Structure 1
Amino acid sequence: MPTLTLLRHAKSSWNDPVSRDFDRPLNARGRKAAVTMGRELRREGLAFDHVIASPATRVTETIDGFAQGFGETMAPAWDRRIYLASAATLIDVLHGLPADAASALMVGHNPGLEDLVLLLVPDTAGDALRAEVEIKYPTAAVATLEWEGGWADLREGGARLTRFVRPRDLDASLGPDGD
């Protein structure tokens, strides 16, 4: 049974004078949130045998902070298709993961990651985690999904959401401010 962990990039800076959205860096709160989320997933005992990520600056900086908190160097497969991708494109990327990858981390952007969770996890009454994702998938939040079969078997309504953690759940100073 594969495990997919989705990490949305941390809070980026809109005040940085970069010319392209792709080049936006993290702000101070985003850097702190990335480290915090890495520490939390290390504390929970997660491990990843495959990491795939958007090459956007805010994602590369998120991975750097996450790896610092997680205590391991990350060597992602950079995939430009993840940058601002739709849920359908993200599924295509995931279908291409190596068959022997048991636990993958995908680091990317919204609305694609949120849409992916909502597409893969059926809308059943009483699913509090899915309901939280539906309200908002904030920056640096992590969702973990599992399903029967392999990567090629990932399909609409076929997964279970087993974890949804937001930075504010771990540190109130990382709470919402309209992001």
Structure 2
Amino acid sequence: MSVAEPRRIALFRHAKADWPQVSDHERPLAERGRKDAAVAGRKLTDSGLTFDLALCSTATRTRETWKLAVHELAHRPKTVYEERIYEASPGELIALLNEVPDEVATVILIGHNPGVHGLAEILSGSADEEARERMNRRGFPAAAFALLSFEGPWKSLEPGVCTLSGFWAPSE
């Protein structure tokens, strides 16, 4: 793939988690989260994107979210479970995305708030106004995702270079 072709990123927050007596990293999805993860997968399919790579936090709730969502996709991308996503700041997530090989055109990152929401805001130098308004109004609830694009190699990803083209969140 040419670095002149647009790169696409989906930032996907894990679905609603349960609160059993386990460590935060091991928290599973709640029943509602399992339903919302599958719906989010269908909405990702509706976006028309075909993901080349999935970067997923190692936390139980993100792995379960991805397992349910990816089942709804027409194409299953290569998935890398990445410890650095758990509790990552937007800057740390940018550094991780800067490592993506240039032959990868489209990435989905499955992570946590506040990092995922902050990353969507920081990267979005421009936006479809409807998508920005929905994200600002809704925040970044569980199972929500933002769609962004930029041009250039992954190592050039930095604050303000992306266009926010879409935002979806489950109805509450």
Global fold match (TM > 0.5): yes
Matches within 5 A, 1:141-160: 141-160=144-163
Residue 98 of structure 1: aligned partner: 101
Give the match's secondary structure for 2:54. strand
Q: Distance in 2 between matches of 1:157 and 1:72?
A: 30
Matches within 5 A, 1:23-172: 23-73=26-76, 75-122=78-125, 127-135=129-137, 136-168=139-171
Q: Deviations over 1:129-161 (max 9, x none)?
A: 223323400110111100121211111111100
Greater strand content: 2
Q: Distance in 2 between matches of 1:95 and 1:71?
A: 27
- The 3 A distance-change label for structure 1 pair 147 and 75 is closer
Residue 3 of structure 2: aligned partner: none
Of 39-48 and 151-160, more deviation after overlay is shown by 39-48
Q: Distance in 2 between matches of 1:115 and 1:2?
A: 19
Q: Deviations over 1:116-139 (max 9, x none)?
A: 011111378x83322332340011
% identical equivalent positions: 36
Residue of structure 2 aligned with 1:5, choices 10, 14, 31 = 10
Q: Distance in 2 between matches of 1:41 and 1:47?
A: 9
Q: Distance in 2 between matches of 1:2 and 1:73?
A: 18
Question: Does 2:16 align with 1:17?
Answer: no
> What is the TM-score of this pair, normalised by structure 2?
0.90
Give the match's secondary structure for 1:64. helix
Contact 2:15 2:37 in 1 (8 A): yes
**1:9 partner letter:** H
Contact 2:51 2:75 in 1 (8 A): no
Contact 2:55 2:108 in 1 (8 A): yes
Of 107-116 and 45-54, more deviation after overlay is shown by 45-54
Where do 5+ consecutive residues of structure 2 fail to align?
Answer: 1-5
Contact 1:34 1:69 in 2 (8 A): no
> What is the TM-score of this pair, normalised by structure 1?
0.86
**2:43 partner letter:** E
Moved segments of 4+, more than 6 Å: none
